[in-house]
Structure formats: C-alpha cells, structure tokens
Structure 1
Amino acid sequence: MLRYQVVESFLSINGEGKRAGQLAVFLRFAGCNLKCSYCDTMWANQPDVAYTWMTKEEIYEIVRQSGAKNVTITGGEPLLQKGMKELLAFLAEDESLTIEIETNGSVDLTPYLSISDRVVMTMDYKLPGSGMEDRMNLSNLKKLRTVDTVKFVSGSREDLIRAVQIMEEYTLRGRCACYLSPVFGRIEPVEMVEFMKERQLTGVNLQIQMHKVIWDPEMKGV
C-alpha cells in the first residue's frame, strides 16, 4: 500500500498563482532535492522533520472535510514522493477539485501532465540568485500547457533579465501563465514594476506572496 509523508495540512488562501486569494486546502510533503538561498520552508526539508504516513484515502478525507475545491500540493518538492502520480489521479477522480502542484523545476513533469487538465503545475524556475539554476530540467519548459504556470522568484535585476531570457527562449508568454515574484526582503516590487515597463512585459503578472503580507512571514500553517 502506498503511503505518503505529510508534514502538515491546513485550510488557508492561496498566497500566489492563478488562484491567489481563493481558499485552498494545503498538503505539504516532506523532503526536497534543492537548497535555494531564499527557501522559506527549509524546516520541511530536514531529514528529521516530523511527518505522518498517510494513504491516498486518508489524504482525500482531509480534502473532503476541508470543503475546499482548490487543493495545493506543496513541499519541499512533492513530486519526489513515491506514488505521487497515483495520489494525483485518485484526487482527480473528484471532478469538483482543481489540484495545483507546486514544483521546483528539477523533476520531469511528463508523467503528471496527462492525468487531467484539473491537475495543474506551478513550476518555479530557479534563477541565478537561488543558487540552483543548474539543477533545472529545461525540458519541462517545452511541455507546460495553457493551464500551467511558470513562476520566476527574483531577487535582483540579474534575476529579472534571466527570467525574460527564459521566457523568450522557450516562448512561454502566451503559452502558459508567467509570474514574477520578489524574493521577500531582497528586491522592492516597485523596481520590478519599472523593469516590466522597461521591457514591455505584457501578459506577465507581478505577484507578491499574499500570505507574507497578511501574516508574519515566518508563520507556518498559513
């Protein structure tokens, strides 16, 4: 029987992405294969992090009891969990749900893209400031669908320039949703807006993590 390492689950609003501001039930899974300089969930990636082994049926019961129709699967890197495709397919059997996977861009997305158009990817392309750009699986950028999102978390002008290069090289604008998001405390959003004006980034969204504005940026479970 497949079981999954669930670090925490909670009901809150989506702080970012296409469904920002909407209620979602969050399922955070243990472990990550990257170590980004700005990671805000490093605690969930530690070898000794506390987690609960859960079956797909137990996970679905959390979703059902929450009453939310948006499900956010996050980590760490949730696609490292053995049997994640089976879990996503099981959740997708409930046609009232939209399931968003927050993935770090290093894991091949191919096995998951054919499950359902209601299983959507928010792929975080790691820019130079993350220290992890060399770990990106670039083939993913060619496979993203119109329902998917690519997010560029930027902490400097160098990061922003690189984000535009990737958007152009892989013709992302117009093919999937493209978001720029500031590294909290490293770059001012106004600088990003000026950059967007300068580069005429029509169709690109600037997004500030709402949960870090509403609550203490270090608070868990929000």
Structure 2
Amino acid sequence: MNYKVVEKFISINGEGLKAGKLSTFIRFAGCNLNCVYCDTKWANEENVKYTLMTENEIYSYIKETGVKNVTLTGGEPLLQNNIKELLSLLSSNNDLNVEIETNGSINLEAFLDYKNMPSFTMDYKLPDSGMETFMKTSNFKFLTRKDVIKFVVSSLKDLEKVTELIKEFKLTHKTNVYISPVFGKISPETIVEFMKNNKLNDVTLQIQIHKIIWNPNKRGV
C-alpha cells in the first residue's frame, strides 16, 4: 500500500504529553477540514508535492532514526487509504510509542484494536475555527489517560465553549485536557486568567514550543 508523505523528519515534539521529547514525524497529505488558523495549509493543497511510501518503507525509515517516539500527523493521517495496515505494522514493535494527531472529525472507534495501542492527540475545533460542526463528541468516550484532547483557542468565546465541554462530558476525569492559543490571536496570559477565574483544575496550558525555538513558519521542525 502507498501513503502520501509530504514530510518526514526528526525533531522534538512541540506539544502534547511528549512535548520537548524527540520524535520521528511522518506528515501525510490532505485534510477534510479547513480551519481558519491552520498552520499546515500547504500540506492540504491539491497540488502539494508528496512522496509515495509503502508501510514497509515508512517503518524502515522510523527504525533507522533510532527514535522511539513516532508522531503521525498531517493533514489528517486517519484519512490515508489503508492507514490501518500501517498502524498494525507499527504496533507490532513494542519499542515504539506511536502518537496520532487527529482533527476530531474522524470516528476513532475503528482504530482501537491494536496490541501496542497508539495514543491520540485529538483536536476539538472550537467556534472560531469555522469547523466545529464537523466535530464528533462521540469520540470523547474513546479517549483515555494516555490520550489528549486539545482545544486550540482564539478568543474568550472559544474558552467559554471549552468550559462547557469539560463540564458536560467530564473530560478531565477521562483524559488529559490541553488548551493552546492560536499563535498571535490570544495571549497565554489571557488564558491563564480565564483558567483561574473558572477554576479549570486538571487543565494544562500548552504553548507550541517549536514556534518559540524556530521561526513559526519553518517546516521540518
């Protein structure tokens, strides 16, 4: 099977539970959403340049890096044809820690049957993203303590919706809840004040550290 890979590289994880730790990144082409703040729109364009790689070629590349953390990202990796075959192959290696960055619109139930389960860092697209109508709240029940639900916020309106969702679905009792600011749209200080005022216990403010280390528009990092 062939997969459309637009980037593969080693870097530190810029966000999530493994933030600051080395990871091998495999970035796939294509996404079914069009968020207004997307920082990888180039990977979703119809004419984006990609390399066709088989699951064995991807696996070989990952093994050659010598890095045990693997991040599958995009685009939307779960839209790749035959992605289950790649996940099965990667899960056969118990030394690998596979993380899937997914956008919240794909049903996760189809991706739960692996011996060495990948972890999910799943977005919930808030009102300011323009994509909230595509979100599947049914996915919340599949998230565990090894996963992350990530809320990317642009405004106080987004933060208020985060609070509603946390309470309605008791998210902090199920999984790790992260709030991340849209770069240049809302200040971390504003988010911290909101967290204090609303007593958002067990919620983590997340800053995308790769955008602090490198130019925010730099690729391959």
TM-score (norm 2): 0.98
- The one-letter amino acid paired with 1:149 is V
Give, in angstroms, the shift of residue 142 of structure 1. Answer: 2.0
Aligned partners of 1:117 and 1:147 also within 8 Å: no
Say whether the 8 Å CA contact 2:179–2:203 is kept in structure 1.
Answer: yes
Q: CA deviation at 1:90?
A: 0.5
> Is the contact made by 2:76 and 2:102 (CA closer than 8 Å) also made in structure 1?
yes
1:118 deviates by 3.7
2:103 aligned with 1:104, yes or no?
A: yes
**Aligned position for 2:53:** 54
Tell me how far apart the structure 2 counterparts of residues 62 and 149 of structure 1 sit (CA, whole Å). Answer: 26
Instruction: Give the C-alpha shift of residue 122 in structure 1.
Output: 0.5
Measured in 2, the distance between the counterparts of 1:136 and 1:175 equals: 18
- The letter for the 2-side match of 1:204 is V
Render the CA deviation track for 1:53-100: whole Å, top value 9, x for unaligned. Answer: 111110011111111110000001010001111111110111011100
Name the aligned partner's letter for residue 196 of structure 1. M
**117-126 vs 20-29, which moves further:** 117-126
Letter matched to residue 215 of structure 1: W
Contact 1:97/1:118 (8 A) holds in 2: no
Q: For 1:185 and 1:160, how far apart are their aligned partners in 2? A: 16
Most deviating of 163-172 and 184-193: 163-172
Verify: 1:175 aligned to 2:174, yes or no.
yes
The one-letter amino acid paired with 1:39 is C
Contiguous gaps of at least 5 residues in structure 1: none
- Residue 114 of structure 1 corresponds to 113
| Alpha-carbon distance, 1:116 to partner | 3.9
- The answer to whether the Cα contact below 8 Å between 1:69 and 1:97 also exists between their aligned partners in 2 is yes
1:16 is aligned to 15
Cα distance in 1 for residues equivalent to 2:77 and 2:117: 17
1:40 alignment partner AA: D
SS of equivalent residue, structure 2 residue 71: strand
State, as a whole percentage, how many aligned pairs show the same letter.
53
Q: SS where residue 194 of structure 1 aligns?
A: helix
CA contact (8 A) 1:125 1:151 kept: yes
The answer to whether the 8 Å contact 1:105/1:137 transfers is: yes
Q: Distance in 1 between matches of 2:138 and 2:220?
A: 33
**Shift in Å at residue 117 of structure 1?**
5.1
**Cα pair 2:59 2:90 within 8 Å, conserved:** yes
Aligned partner of 1:123 in structure 2 is 122
Query: Which residue type is aligned with residue 179 of structure 2?
Result: L
Measured on the aligned residues, the alpha-carbon RMSD in Å equals: 0.9
- Contact 2:153–2:180, Cα closer than 8 Å, also in 1: yes
Query: What is the match of residue 24 of structure 2?
Result: 25
Distance 1:20 1:78 in 2: 20
Q: Is the 8 A contact 2:91 2:116 kept in 1?
A: no
Structure 2, unaligned stretches of length 5 or more?
Answer: none
- CA deviation profile, 1:94-134 (whole Å, cap 9, x unmatched): 10111000000001001112224540100000000100000
Partner Cα separation in structure 1 for residue 170 and residue 97 of structure 2:
26
The 3-state SS of whatever aligns with 2:31 is: coil
Output the CA distance in 1 between the equivalents of 2:78 and 2:117: 17
Alpha-carbon distance in structure 1 between the residues aligned to 2:113 and 2:165 = 24
